[in-house]
Each structure stands twice: as C-alpha cells, then as structure tokens.
A and B are shown apart, each in its own frame.
Chain A
Amino acid sequence: MSGLALFAHQFRYDQKAFWRNPASVFFTVMFPVILLLIFATVFGGQTVDVRGGIKTTAYYVPAIITLAVISATMQSLAMSLVIAREDGRLKRGRGTPMPSWVFIAGRVGNSAVVALLMLVLMAAIGRLLYGVAIPWDRLPQIVITLLIGAAAFCCLGIALTAAIPSQDAAAPIVNALLLPLYFLSGVFIPDDQLPSGVIHFADVFPIRHFFEAFFDVYDPGSIGAALQWGDLAIVAIWGVAGLLLAIRFFRWTPRGG
C-alpha cells in the first residue's frame, strides 16, 4: 500500500473511534458550542471596545472558534496519544509493518477534520442565532490561518505528551496549561477589559497570536484585514519548536509499568 492509502486506512478507523468516544465528542465538539451559547447569552446585547466597538457576539464567535481549533488539535491529540501510549497500543502498532508516522498522521488528520468542522459549526451557529456575518470573501485567509494554527497546535500537542506521565494526568496537565491562557489571551474575557501587562504576558504564547490572527481575518468590522503574518509567524515558531521537541522526546512505549 502507498503511504497515502495507509494514511487513509488509519484515518478511517481513527474517525470511528473518535466519534464513538463520548469524552472526545463532548470536550472537543459540544463544549465549545456550550461555551459560545453561554457567553453569547450572558453578555448578549453588550458591545466590546475593540475596533471602535463591536457586538460581543461578533467577538465571541471567532474567539470560541480559536478555542475549538486548539481543543480539536492540541488538547485532543495530547489526550488520545497518551491514552494510546499507556494502553500499549502505540507500542503494539510499532510491532506491525505499518510505518510509525501513519499512526500519528491518522490522528493529526482527524484533528484537522474536526477543527474544520468546528469552524463550520460555530460560524453557522453565530450566523443563525446571533446574526454574526460569515466573512465569505475572506474564506481563503480564514482557512489558511486555521490550518497554520491547527498544524502548530498539533505539534505542540504531540510534544506535550512527553510531559504527561499517565492517563490520569493527561486532562489536568492539558487544562492547567490551556485554561489560564484562554483567559489571559482574550478568548474568554474581551481584551479591552484585560490589563496591558496581562496582554504582554499572553503575547509570549501562541494562543494569543492565533486568536489575534484569526480574529482579524474573521471579524467583518476590521478594515482591509489580510493574513496577519506577524502573529502567524509566532504561532508557526511555536509549532516548529513543538515539532522538534516531539521528534526528540516522543515515546511509543508506556511510561507507567
């Protein structure tokens, strides 16, 4: 079988396993939807003081899409790879003729597809429930931004597995990293309400830059917004760093016994 056929084979089964797993469906698909509904309901009729004032819903749709992309990639990959590693399934797979990269590629493919699906789902909810326009004319920029972010956060998720010693530790470690950064990066709290020191701190990390890059191409109020190469470059640098760490430290065998 060619590499592509092996990938397609693995991807098909990874999709099945993903959609049958209630935890992955809830945290990756349902949770961002619930967050969007809550934020839009609670802060509904208000405006956010960015770009001369926009509706909160127009702010939260791209914000929660960035969260959903990170969740489908970094969070979902780190968790599912650690579970498979500790189950011994990665080790078992290495004992077959399948090239190792196929195992990772199937899951990365799964993450990319779910990330794109979340974009569609959230944009549709934003449009149908809250009247947030879908920026059709900037679709290429949106998809490119999303894919650069998805790739970078996949690499970071794979790298992160090296720091997770057991299945039980996976969710706490991933959440301890991501949740504070969502708050500090303006994903949960509009950045007009965040002190500048917080923003400077968040600027070190990729979540803030991915959010900024995505917001700028998504928000219909922004003027002449094109791809934010500066932000995307920082996201990509983090991704490359994650890739290098993953290549160096990723392990296939269980750590616990």
Chain B
Amino acid sequence: MGDAVISIRGLRKSYGEFEAVRGIDLEVRAGEVFAFLGPNGAGKTTTVEILEGYRKRSGGEVEVLGEDPEHGDRGWRERIGIVLQSCRLDPYLTVRESLGLYAGYYRAPRPVDEVIELVGLEGKADSRASKLSGGQQRRLDVGMALVGDPELLFLDEPTTGFDPQARRQAWDVIAGLRDLGKTIFLTTHYMDEAQRLADRVTIIAGGEIVAAGTPEDLGDRENQPATIAFKLPAGVAAGDVPGGPEVSEGGEAMLSTTTPVASLNELTGWALARDVDLEGLEVTRPSLEDIYLELTE
C-alpha cells in the first residue's frame, strides 16, 4: 500500500438546511482503485466535487495529493484528471483534436496516439465526437482526463446508462489504468462495477458512510445469516417445521440462520423422519447486491 493520496476527516457539506454529506472519513492510497458506491442522491457527487476543487466544503479536513482542493493551483491540477458525471464533448472536433486540445493544457502530456490506444479508439482517431457512440464518447472523455498523465484520476459514474457491451469496454479501459499505476477514485451506483474494478469499496447512503472494505469482506458478508429456502411440503403446517420458517402465500418457506450447517441437519433429519421431500431446497449467502441494498435502504 502506498501513501495516502486522498484523506478526508469529518467532511460535511450543507446546501441550506439540507445536509448532503454528514461527516465522513476516508482515505485513498497511491495506486489503488477506490470505489465510492451509493444510490443517487447519497452524496457521492458532492464529495467527489469537493475533492476535485469544484465545491467548497462546510466543514472537515480534506487533502488531495497533499493540498487542500479549495486552494489547488495549476501545479496541483497538472496531477489530477477529471471525468465529470455528465459532459458533452465538442461535437466538431475529432478524437485526435479533442485530445490534442487538452494535451496543450499540460506541461508534460502523454502522447496523443498513446492515449488513443489506451482508451481503445484507434479506429476512430479522425472521427468527430458527434459521430461516436455513447460508450466511445465516454472513453474519449476518459482519454481527455488521461492525456495530462495525472497521478490521480476521478471517474464520476463512468458507465451510467451504458449497454452491457459498452460497460465491459469501459471496464477494460479502467482496469488498464490501474496497470499504469494510476490512483483511481471511482463513483458508481453499480455494485458489480465496484466489485469488478475496485480494490476497496466504501458505501455512502444519506450522506454517511455505511460500510467500507474490500469487495470480498464488505458488510461482513461471511457472518451474515444464510437463508435456507424450500417449498413447504403438502399437508405440513409451518409451525411443525423445525426452526419455524416464514412461509409465503405460494408455499415458499424461508429460514434465516446464522448456523446453516446445524439448521440444515435438523431440517433434513426432520424431513427424512417424516418422509417428506423438501422441493427446491437451497442455501444462500447474501450477495453483495443484497448487502448493498440493505445498507442503502
């Protein structure tokens, strides 16, 4: 793990009476892909725009690349790249020209052709932005953030509204950036995106951090209750079944347990003794999606 590239302590942001961010702490280290996950309106964009220097905070401490973003100078801006949540590109400039325009803003830009390759637009280098698909425009957008060769890249919901194929291509591009050693701060409301790309995930809901960790151990998934599901055998009352499952109107029985091995043993023992079948029997752990939905409800 490298040094802290972003560190936030007690960050608050209010818009009038409304508190969009209610005192959050987080740290992003050099070279990692950090996913900031949350539903719409959770405070993701407010937070990322404070980190990018677009918004002033109401309280707390923020450091990005060792500086307060509110006072970030040109030298600081040389070191960060930004992809906004929504930005239309100049429709009359080609891919190569848009990248050339942005390359001219930086002291030591990455060669334009190299960036075109990184974002997978080799065949479109001389097409105008207006002729690109949504996914291609977004990749050009990422290229424009990359052409200054920044250390830290902010990607605000880079794949929102994409079809699965365009999303896959965008993911490949982002995964490639990690290999270049860039630190990436990614906001998203897609669990699978965070799972696929991030080293660490932090979930924000209602302006507060509700969970943080690697995608594997997020939300303490291993210790969450498992669910045993089966069809209630005909002629059996729910109360007769060990563990007392909840039964839906359609006869689907659900048993929540923290000791699935013992519960399953008890249940199957009971079924064998009564000589009934447990149709559709399955044991499931909550998926990341379930945990995310539960946390952000």
Contacts and interface: CB of A to CB of B under 8 A. Distances in A.
Interface of A: 1, 6, 9-10, 13, 16-17, 20-21, 84, 87-89, 91-99, 253, 257
B190 interface: no
Interface stretch (B85-93, B177-185, B279-287): B85-93
Given A87-B87, A88-B86, A95 B52 contact: yes
A88 B88 CA distance: 6
A67 to B, nearest CB: 25
Contacts of A84: 90
B71 interface: no
Interface of B: 52-54, 74-75, 77-78, 80, 82, 84, 86-90, 92-93, 97, 100-102, 104-107, 128, 144, 148
Contact of B104 (A9, A17, A88): A9
B90 A17 contact: yes
Contacts of A13: 93, 97, 100-101
Most chain B C-beta atoms within 10 Å of own C-beta, residue among A1, A6, A13 = A13
Most chain A C-beta atoms within 10 Å of own C-beta, residue among B92, B100, B128 = B92
Contacts of B106: 96-97
B74 A97 contact: yes
Contacts of B53: 95
A104 to B, nearest CB: 15
A147 to B, nearest CB: 27
B177 to A, nearest CB: 17
Contacts of B144: 92
B257 to A, nearest CB: 46
B78 A97 contact: yes
Given A97-B77, A98-B105, A89 B88 contact: yes
Given A87-B87, A88-B87, A97-B105, A16 B77 contact: no
B84 A96 contact: no
B74 A92 contact: no
B84 A16 contact: no
B119 to A, nearest CB: 16
Contacts of A16: 92-93, 97
A81 to B, nearest CB: 13
Nearest to B90: A17
A84 to B, nearest CB: 8
- Shortest 7 CB-CB contacts between residues of A and residues of B: A88-B87, A87-B88, A20-B92, A95-B82, A98-B105, A97-B77, A9-B104
A95 B72 CA distance: 10
A10 B90 CA distance: 13
A156 B17 CA distance: 36
A6 B103 CA distance: 11
Nearest to A96: B105
A178 to B, nearest CB: 24
Contacts of B90: 17, 84, 89
Contacts of A6: 104-105
A93 B52 CA distance: 12
Nearest to B83: A92
A95 B77 contact: yes
A84 B93 CA distance: 13
A21 B91 CA distance: 9
13 contacts: A1-B104, A10-B101, A16-B92, A87-B87, A87-B88, A88-B84, A93-B105, A94-B54, A97-B75, A97-B105, A97-B106, A97-B107, A257-B86
B54 A253 contact: yes
Nearest to B86: A88
A206 B296 CA distance: 57
A91 B87 CA distance: 9
A1 B86 CA distance: 29
A91 B84 CA distance: 9
Contacts of B93: 13, 16-17
B276 to A, nearest CB: 58
Contacts of B77: 95-97
Contacts of B107: 1, 97
Most chain B C-beta atoms within 10 Å of own C-beta, residue among A21, A84, A98 = A98
Contacts of A21: 92
B58 to A, nearest CB: 18
Nearest to B144: A92
A107 B148 CA distance: 23
A130 to B, nearest CB: 34
Nearest to A24: B92
A5 to B, nearest CB: 9
